[in-house]
Copies of this chain bind each other. A is one copy, B any other.
């Protein structure tokens, strides 16, 4: 384990620093206003002109002098009325307290002790409002947001919301695998996905339904023809066909069927995807490790504007686990912003925020018209 040198306390910033200031605790278990809150890092306190390290160091506690002049780190609840407690918030020696952050922390939090510094966590707030604005701006300026989705999107009934985004013009291109289209078409024909009903029950005889859905489309010859012939009457593929939004269905070894139009050669699939990643001005990667990482591999981290200037390519990665987002970053897509949640819920709230934002903008533009629009 690494050894760490003490700071050189003869340096002027330490030598010239004032003593730490102590204020009496106002009551048992209550600290004075502005108390110094400790960290778990080596800490030096100037008392009587000399720098000392307190005993029993730990975080989230106070610095207390006892009657013998001994300096302790002590939990607030253990402090007694009248105990001298160090006050101040600066940790750089200027107020007589120095926290030796750089030695131990390295990169983390720029040498300052902080909580909540991990890159990806379900505990981080999700800024739907910002994401909704980004998406609307993309539509307003004729951007090319690409949506990359895994089967959970259909499986867990975010299907209606995805369809809405397509119909409202928020989808530049849609990249997915055979399974997304199969589940979506099974839902249109039979009302199930893999035989599971909308309330999550496995239906009797349900295990063959996705195969029957595939077979009907194969018989029709193509997804577009299945839409024309009224076999597929709603959902994601229906909306893509009807609205002429380009889509790429990439094959994988898991595929049943596959549906006509699925790229069974993965290099041809990559070439087809690249047509869209090259144009992309935003990327939403939802509930898919395979397609998210494949897209990340092909995606520049930046957009080149028509005037030649550069901006970051907003890349949102939604998954139930931190792992997929971290893996995407570990494969070099460092610009990805992770949203750790259920795909169904993500889609529903995104739509809600986009609707609200559009409504707010409509009302701002024309207060009377907006009411009618509702």
Residues of A within 8 A of B (CB): 1-6, 26-27, 29-31, 35-37, 39-42, 53, 56-60, 75-77, 89, 103-105, 107-110, 112-127, 130, 134, 152, 155-157, 194-196, 198-200, 202-208, 210-212, 214-215, 218-219, 250-258, 264-267, 269-270, 273-274, 277-278, 289-291, 293-294, 296-302, 304, 309-314, 320-323, 326-327, 329-335, 340-342, 344-346, 348-349, 352
> Are B39 and A207 neighbours in the complex by a CB distance under 8 Å?
yes
In the assembled complex, the CB of A72 is this many whole angstroms from the nearest CB of chain B, namely 11
Query: Chain B contacts of A205 at CB under 8 A?
Result: 89
Query: Chain B contacts of A39 at CB under 8 A?
Result: 207, 332
Q: A1-B311, A109-B202, A274-B56 are in contact. Are A254 and B346 (CB under 8 A)?
A: no
> Are A214 and B76 neighbours in the complex by a CB distance under 8 Å?
yes
Query: Bound state CA distance, A269 and B76, in angstroms?
Result: 16
Q: A118-B326, A125-B200 are in contact. Are A113 and B60 (CB under 8 A)?
A: no
Q: Which of B274, B311, B323 contacts A322 (CB 8 A)?
A: B323
Query: Chain B contacts of A75 at CB under 8 A?
Result: 270
> Are B156 and A123 neighbours in the complex by a CB distance under 8 Å?
yes
> Are A267 and B264 neighbours in the complex by a CB distance under 8 Å?
yes
Q: Which 4 residue pairs spanning A and B have beta carbons closest together?
A: A37-B208, A341-B342, A345-B345, A114-B202
Q: Which of B37, B41, B122 contacts A156 (CB 8 A)?
A: B122
Q: Which of B58, B198, B312 contacts A2 (CB 8 A)?
A: B312
> Are B251 and A266 neighbours in the complex by a CB distance under 8 Å?
yes
